[in-house]
Every structure is written in C-alpha cells, then in structure tokens.
Chains A and B, each alone.
Chain A
Amino acid sequence: MSPTRLQLFRDASSLSVRDVILSAGDSLQTYREKLARIILDEMYQFVGLLDAKGMTLEINRAALEGAGINLSDIQDKPFWEARWWQVSRETRERQRELCGRAAAGEFIRCDMEIYGRSGGEGTITIDFSLLPVRDHQDKILFLLAEGRNITEKKVAEAEIAQKNEELQKLLEQIRHLDELKSDLFANISHELRTPLALILGPVESILASGNSLTELQRRDLSVIRHNAATLLKHVNDLLDLAKLDAGKMTMDYVDLDLARLVRTAAAHFDALASQKSVSHAVLAPDVLRAEVDPEKLERVLLNLLSNAFKFTPNGGRIQCALNVSGNRFVLTVQDSGPGIPPALRTSIFERFRQGQGGTTREFGGTGLGLSIAKDFVELHGGLITVSDAPIGGTLAQLEIPLRAPQGSIVRKQVGEPPTTSAIAASTTVEELRSGNTHEIQTWGEVGNPKVLVVEDHPEMRRFIAEILSNEFRVITAADGLEALSMAAAEMPDLVVTDLMMPKLGGDQFLRQMRELDALMQLPALVLSAKADETLRLRVLAELAQDYLVKPFSSAELLARVRNLVAMKRSRDMMQRELASQSQDLAFLTQELIASKRTIQNILQAQRRLSALVENSRDFISFASLEGHVMFVNPAGRELVGVAEDDVKGTVPLDYVLEEDRQMLSAGMAAALAKGNWEGEVRFRNLKTRASIPMFQHIFDVKDTETGQRIGLATISRDITERKRIEDGLRKAQTELAHVSRVASMGELTASIAHEINQPLVAIVANANACARMLDVRSPDLDEIRLAVRDIADDGERASQVLSRIRGLLKKSRPGKSELDMNEVITEVLPLIRGEMDKHRTKLVKGLQHGLPRVLGDRIELQQVIINLLLNGMEAMDSTLDRPRVLEIRSQVGKSGEVIIAVRDSGSGVSADQIGNLFSPFFTTKPGGMGMGLPISRTIIEAHGGTLGATPNQAGGATFQFTLAPAAQR
C-alpha cells in the first residue's frame, strides 16, 4: 500500500464521502475507482457518461443536484429526456440530434441553455461538449458529456455587446453633429465671403482711381482693405476646413515649374525681410517640373514662411530649400527662431491650436493655418514634419510625390498663378509688418486729462487714440505688461483696455493694477470683441467700471470715456479736500491743547506773560470775574481792532457780532459751571466792522494756591480759512450730488421718455378725435368737451413729469420745506417704471397713511430714493432663482420718526461689506460711479437722519433711512 494511502487510514479502517465508502481493505483497483467517483461527484461542472446510443450511464452529483434529479430515474434512459434538456422542445430535439452525431464519431461542442439550478427550476447557460470514446478497435463505446457553467460570462458578454452598440450609436451621432458643424461652417463662410468681396472690390477701385484722396482718407481706406482682406483670409480658412471635414476638397493638379512657384511665394516676403534685417535665402534648382495643386501648395508655403517670419527675431535667418529625392520632392523652410519644443510638435497641427490659452496670446490668427497645411499636404499624398533646424530654430519639411496619382486629371499651366493667393500673401505680410512696428506713441495735448489705451491691434489702437485725441491726452500700450508699467509711470485718469492681448491679457492686467495702492481706484473701460454676457458681468463686477463690445460707435466710446474721466476728476477733488480738511482740524486741536496748558502756567505766575502769548497768532484774552476784559494779546488786539489802552474798558461781548452775543453769554456761563466751553462764534473788528468766524475755547482760571476762581480766559482761532474750505466742500458736494443726479437721469432716459410719450400719445389721439368729431354736421359737444378735458389732464401730467425732471437736473441750492414722504416717493416712481421693466423687477409699495411731515429738500430726498431703488434693482440682476421683488415701505418709528425702507431680494451684503458701501468717494464697485450710496448718506445726514443697510434673513438687503418729523426739529 502506498504511504499516502496508509496515512489516510491511520485513524479509521473506513472513510465515507457522501455515497462513497473507502475502506482500508479495498483492492488498488477498487480504491482508484472510488477516488475517481469522488472526483466526478465533487466536480463543479457537468460530467456524464452515455452509451453509444445516448442512454445515460453515469452523471456526476453536481449536475444531478442542479436539476433535482436522482440518478436511478434517468439511468439507462435517453439522455435527452432528462430534466436538463426540457427547457424547450427545441433543446430536447437538439440534444437528441447531438447524441446522434456524437455516436457517429463527431466531437460536439456548443453553448446550451438548460435547467441547472434551483433544483431544476432555473436555467443556466453551459459550454457543452460530447466526446465519442472508442475502444482499441476504434469502435465507439461511450459518449462523454461535459458542461461548464458560463452563465455569468454570457451576461457579461451581452452587456459588452450592448455597450458596444451604444458606443456605435453615439459615434454615429457625433459624426452627424460633426457633419452639421461642417455644413454650418461652410454656409456661414459662404455668406461672409460675398459681403467681404463687396467691401474689398469698391475699396480697391477707390484706392486705385482716387488721386483726389487726402492722405487721411487713403490711410483709412487702406486700413479697411487690409482688415477686410484679413477677414477674408480667415473666412477662407474656415471654408477650407469645412470642405476638408466633409471630404469635399478636390485636387486641381497642374503640371508646372515648382521652382518658380517657390521663388514667387518667397519673394512676397522680401520687403519684410529687409525691414526686419532677416537674411532670407531660397535654394532651388532652376527648373523643377511637378504635378501639384498650385493654390494649395502655395497656401502651405505661405503659411510656413509667415510662421518663420513671425518667430524669427530681427537680424535672424530664414532659408527655404527645394530638392528632389527619388520620385518625391522635398521642400524645407527653416528659421533661427526659438524653435518648437518636441512635446508640441504634433499638437501644433491640431485645429484652433495656439501656443497659449486664456486671454494672453502672442500672435493673431485663428490657429487653423498649420492644420490646413497638413491636410493639404496629405491630399497630395505627402508628409509634413517639424524638427530642429541646423540653423537653430524650426525646420518644417514637406515630402510630396512629383507626379499626381494615376488617373488624376492634370492641367498644363496657363498664365500667372491665381490672384487670390497674391492677396493672401500680401495680407499675411502686411499683418506681420504692422505687428512689427509698434512704438509708444502719444496723441492729444499735454494739459488734457490722460487716457491710457491698451490694445494689441495696431490699427485699432490708432483708431481709438484718434477718437479720443481731441479731448484727451492719449498714451498707448500694446500689451498688458507694457500697460502696467505705463499706468504706474504716467498715472492716467482712465484706462481703456482690450481683453485678448499678448504677454498679459486685459483682465490680468487690471487685476494686477488693482493690487497697486496708487492705481487701485483708477477707473477702467474694457473694450472687447468678446460679447459673452457672463464674461462681461464678471469683468464689470470685479475689474472695470464700463464694458463696450467691439464693434462700437466712436461717439459712444467718447461719451463713456468723458463720463468716467469726469467722475474720476471730481472724486479726486473731493478726496483732496477731505484730506486737507481733516489735517487742518487735527492741527488745530493739538494747538489748542498745547496753548491752553501754556496759558495756565503763565497765569499761575500772575506776573509775566510769556513770549508765546505775546507772539501767538491766536486771540488770547483774560477777563475778571466781574466781566471786565483785563488783557488781550497783540494778535488778538489786531484782529478785533482795539488799542492796548482801550482794552480795559471793554467786556467780552464787545468783541462778537450782536447775533452771537447770546451764544457767547451762554458759553461763558457754561465755562463757569463746568470749567470750560468750546464753540464757533463770530468776532467783529471794531474798526472795520468785518465779521470773523472764530473757534473759541473758554476756560476758568483758578489760583493754584487757594483754588479760588480768579477769572475766565479764552483762546480763539480765526477759522475764516477753514470756513472757506467747508463752504467749498459743501458746494462741491452739491455739485457732485448734481452730477450724480444727472448721471442717474441719463440712465433713466428711456423710462422718462416713455413717461412723457404716453400722455403725448393720448393728447394727439384725442386732438385728432376732436377734429374728426367737429367735422360732423351736428357735433357731439359733450364728448368733445370730455376729450378736451382729457387733453388738459394729459398735458398737465406731462408737464408735471417734465418739471420733476427739471427739478432733478437743475443745479439748485438746497432748500428745505415741510414734505409728505409718501408724496415724495410717489412722484419719483414713474421715473423708474421703465427701468423696472428692463430689470424685470416687480415693485411692491407699502406706504403708511398719515405720516408726519418732515423738513427736507424734496429734490435731494428724491435723489436718495431713486438711488436706493436703482441700487436694489442692480443688486437683483444676478437673481435668477426667485422673483425679483423690490419693496418700498414708509412707516412711523417708535419715537415718531419717519422710516423709509427699500428691500431687495438680490445677492445681499455681508456685515463687513456694509461699511464699504457708504465710504465716501471710494469704490471698487462697477456700474456707474459708486457714488450713489455715499451721496445718499451725505444727504440724509445733512437732514439730521441716518441711512444704513442690513442683510435680510431670506436673502437680499434692506436699505433704510430715518428722518425726524418737522415738529420735533
């Protein structure tokens, strides 16, 4: 017995595995058979043995269990009648047929669906085989049936098949879309070519015939011609692309002298080469005959050459060579430029590909040139490659068969090459040349406000500069980097910038500019061909004060520039005034504190007055408790025009204007009671009778030893200068408020026009109706009377609107009267009704009846209400997910004050933004001047009220102001 078998029966003389009992006493033969039985039963797959007629002999246990069968039930019966094959009649018949074929000696293998799980209730798919087993005389004794469960594999395969099908469908859709896109391209391009041709043709003929043209007209026409030709080139590129995509590009083979074609194409660049001091050589045999499509080949060559010229710096080298190699010709263009990194050498042939993305880009063009070149070369059955040039830069190489493919139609060359390529060549060259000659240029007079124009397109740059040059000093930059350094050096009043530019795009430029303290508030107008609304809103929100889409009208550009510059100038002025005023106040306070201390020390000594008091520019005096002036310093005596000897006979009240005497008395009383008093009092000069505004500080003086009060001292400063500045400031504020009113009226023009138009329409219709009614023999006088009354009412209404607008536009000195705020609100609502429509905003009114009247300036308060309403509408421009509702409320507050609130459902404000909203003359906010809210606050504060903002819980913000009722003031 083998050692393993001994080992097996170490613990027991018999072992059982299901139905099989292994015993130690089994003969080797029996032992082996029993082991085979175990293997068979435990196998996971279907195994069975049939006799040569297909009667079942043995089936393994796994297969029996799968179908819920006892072996004894099917033994010696036809295999195909067993449960497995009863999935359908076909399955059973198929199995019978398979058994027959196997019995005839065939090896059978196929997939079958059978009952094989859940006790014969569920189906599985098996990879089934039937193998005929022969004896040594080659007679078939048995059929060995085997089956492996492949259900899961089948499911997976079905899934893959389905996915493939879906992919196929998607692919078809994409192809279809691609076709549509190509058609669209082709259609649009065709549509564009006609008008372009109609532009180019007449311009060419005017230029050719017009000797009478002025230099300026000639230049402008050349600009038109050049740009129309450029556009035509781009359109042709797109058209070619569409044709290529649709597979509709056909070859027009011509048997020609290729060497001559190459020399002609290269000659277009001679002038440019000498201008750039580039050495430009063509190495070609005298004559080389080849069959090519000349138009296409020339396009390829022009493209390669213009790329070479684009990238080769001044003083570099460009070489173009033509050779024959076997049955092909090899055309190379190499340059000494920076070369193309290996990683980019395949992607440069992709469509719309240009080195950089975003708004920064180095060179103009659609990025189609090389892609089309590659397609054209491939249409010739050729190859285009890019590698390092021996002379340092890029080597572009074409390899194209010398002969057209068999069966192509080849024409003989007649006459000159087609003219379209000549236009294309001159356009290409001109583009390169103009891009090559930028130098900083300035327009306009030196004293005018300064505008920095940033634009990479030289002609556009000159065009903008010329529009502005009558009123402004214009300086120009060709890209963002240059603009950044010029802005810092020149401190312009306004920047007008393009977005897509080389080196640094316009948005990046503005962003970096805003980070510099000195340029943070410099207003900017973006002028861009990108008419993308989201971009426009983003730029306006973050970077610029205004956005104009190219093409634009020059009048509009000029008007917008004027506005922005005027705003900037008045804002600068305000900031300067504010700064100098606050400096002044700080200085004054310090002086006062310092002087007061000095005087106390001096009075304490009671004997001498220090040189300081003697020499002080301020009015300094001392009065006894009895009310007699004891002393006035020299500057003070000078101020009020009193001689030293006369001082002793005066009382303090003598030195002030009669109107202010009561105030001074109260001040002195207060100083006696509290120790000191401060206030503004007008002094008078006893000789000239001039009135002098003074800031007066009165304080009592005590004996240091006894602590007993000995008198009152005053130190007063002449504040004429400060008053003058304050007056100027007030005037400037009124002016600014007016400017801002005019600006918002400008925004409201459409609404206002509508408001006046409506009654006018009614008046005209009524008048016409009256005329018709009067024509009748017996006119209906009552109806006519009604019509005439309507006319009068509408006329009244129109004139009211007009007078309201006139009020808002008039430069008036503020004048206060008692007002009903509900009336004030109701009057302005018609002015912004059109604006509401435009912003798709609904206005809700909640006006409380019987408001107490307030004392205020009607026009200024209306300005505040307009500002708040416009502000609310703008805040909701980005609101898309909920209704845009603007609510205006009036109500009486707890302590009787009148509250006016404007509530929006816009993007809202955060607590820390609120402070900034009102900071005077400071804005990073786009749209308008950012002065609306600060001015509104100034106005409300001048009315003794408060204006503030709070975020709403449900989104948006509420702006609210309060005014005290007239009776309380």
Chain B
Amino acid sequence: MRPLVAIVDDEKSVRRAVGRLVKCAGMEVECFASAEEFLEAYSLRAHDCLILDIRLPGMSGLELQSRLVAAGRKLPIIFVSAHDEAESRSQALQAGAVAFFGKPFKEDVLLRAVRSAFQFHDPY
C-alpha cells in the first residue's frame, strides 16, 4: 500500500501544489485547510506523515503538534513555514518534528524528508 501523506496549509494554491508534488513522488495525499479539519480526519484514518504549516487560522501548527504528542501519536511531522522564526523552529524540532523548512523549499529536500519520515514511523 502506498503511504498516505497529510498536508495542512491554509493557502489553497500551496496546498494543491505541494500535494501534487508529493503525489507524483508516488504517495497518496490528503489536503486540509486547518489543523481542526485534519484532526477530524485523523481520528478516522491514520496518516503516515504530516506536512504542516506553522501559521494557521485557529489552532496553530505548533499547537497541533503538541496535541498529537500529548495524545501519544507518533506521527512524523515536517514543518513548512513562510516565517522561518528561530523560536518556532527550535520548538518544533525539540517536540520531535522530522524537519523544518522555510518557504520556498527545495522539492527534493522536502521529498527526501518525507521518505525518511516513513522509515521511522511506527504508528502503534
């Protein structure tokens, strides 16, 4: 079965473009416009990797991360942020994020991070 990658970004065009990129690297993709939408879907279906924006309407990317960590879900997270703030970066990485990329990012670096995420991912 092909791995399932979730993408959460409030920017529609970014969401679609990144989704397309991940898809043509041979993975399944599901896109969400907010952390809340993702959480709703995540309770039904386990994703293998999450590409997450930092700034989101409502719950922020970092909040979503800490909520997943608190719930004991070991979902690998790759942060992608237009605002590469050192503080967010170190917070995200300390909380166990696989990678943190500023926008714009290099596609091959992103895809490499996604692939390496699967190797570590053991959902249960």
Q: Which residues from chain A sit less than 8 Å from chain B, CB to CB? A: 750, 754, 757-766, 768-769, 772-773, 776, 783, 787, 790, 793-794, 797, 837
CB nearest to B25 among chain A residues:
A772
Partner of A765, one of B21, B55, B82, B83: B21
When A768-B21, A837-B55 are in contact, do A761 and B16 touch as well, CB less than 8 Å? no
When A757-B103, A837-B55 are in contact, do A765 and B11 touch as well, CB less than 8 Å? no
**CA–CA, A759 to B55, complex, Å?**
16
The secondary structure that dominates the B interface is helix
> In the complex, what's the smallest C-beta–C-beta distance from B69 to chain A, in angstroms?
24
Asked if residues A762 and B21 are in contact (CB atoms below 8 Å), the reply is: no
Asked if residues B17 and A763 are in contact (CB atoms below 8 Å), the reply is: yes
CB nearest to B108 among chain A residues:
A768
Partner of A761, one of B14, B20, B24, B25: B14
The secondary structure that dominates the A interface is helix
A residues in contact with B20, CB < 8 Å: 765-766, 769, 783, 787
Asked if residues B16 and A754 are in contact (CB atoms below 8 Å), the reply is: no
When A757-B103, A768-B107, A769-B24 are in contact, do A790 and B16 touch as well, CB less than 8 Å? yes
B residues in contact with A794, CB < 8 Å: 13, 17
> In the complex, what's the smallest C-beta–C-beta distance from A776 to chain B, in angstroms?
8
Q: Which residues from chain B sit less than 8 Å from chain A, CB to CB? A: 11, 13-14, 16-18, 20-21, 23-25, 55, 82-83, 103-105, 107
**CA–CA, A837 to B53, complex, Å?**
14
Counting chain A CB atoms within 10 Å of each CB, the highest count among B11, B17, B18 belongs to B17
Asked if residues B21 and A761 are in contact (CB atoms below 8 Å), the reply is: no
B residues in contact with A783, CB < 8 Å: 20
**CA–CA, A305 to B105, complex, Å?**
62
**CA–CA, A794 to B12, complex, Å?**
11
Partner of B82, one of A754, A790, A793: A754
When A754-B82, A754-B83, A757-B103 are in contact, do A762 and B17 touch as well, CB less than 8 Å? yes
> In the complex, what's the smallest C-beta–C-beta distance from B31 to chain A, in angstroms?
13
> In the complex, what's the smallest C-beta–C-beta distance from A306 to chain B, in angstroms?
42
**CA–CA, A783 to B55, complex, Å?**
29
The 7 closest A-B pairs by CB, nearest first: A765-B17, A762-B17, A768-B107, A762-B13, A769-B20, A766-B17, A769-B21
**CA–CA, A797 to B18, complex, Å?**
18
When A754-B82, A761-B82, A764-B104 are in contact, do A769 and B17 touch as well, CB less than 8 Å? yes
**CA–CA, A757 to B14, complex, Å?**
10
Asked if residues B14 and A762 are in contact (CB atoms below 8 Å), the reply is: yes
CB nearest to B11 among chain A residues:
A758
A selection of 16 A-B contacts at a CB cut-off of 8 Å is: A754-B83, A758-B13, A758-B103, A761-B104, A762-B17, A762-B18, A765-B17, A765-B20, A765-B107, A766-B16, A766-B17, A768-B21, A769-B21, A769-B23, A769-B24, A776-B24
**CA–CA, A685 to B24, complex, Å?**
79
> In the complex, what's the smallest C-beta–C-beta distance from B103 to chain A, in angstroms?
4
B residues in contact with A768, CB < 8 Å: 21, 107
**CA–CA, A446 to B23, complex, Å?**
67
B residues in contact with A764, CB < 8 Å: 17, 104, 107
Asked if residues A757 and B24 are in contact (CB atoms below 8 Å), the reply is: no
When A769-B24, A772-B24 are in contact, do A760 and B16 touch as well, CB less than 8 Å? no
**CA–CA, A763 to B104, complex, Å?**
10
CB nearest to B24 among chain A residues:
A772
> In the complex, what's the smallest C-beta–C-beta distance from A935 to chain B, in angstroms?
30
Partner of A772, one of B11, B16, B21, B103: B21
When A769-B20, A772-B25, A783-B20 are in contact, do A758 and B107 touch as well, CB less than 8 Å? no
> In the complex, what's the smallest C-beta–C-beta distance from A242 to chain B, in angstroms?
29
A residues in contact with B14, CB < 8 Å: 758, 761-762, 765
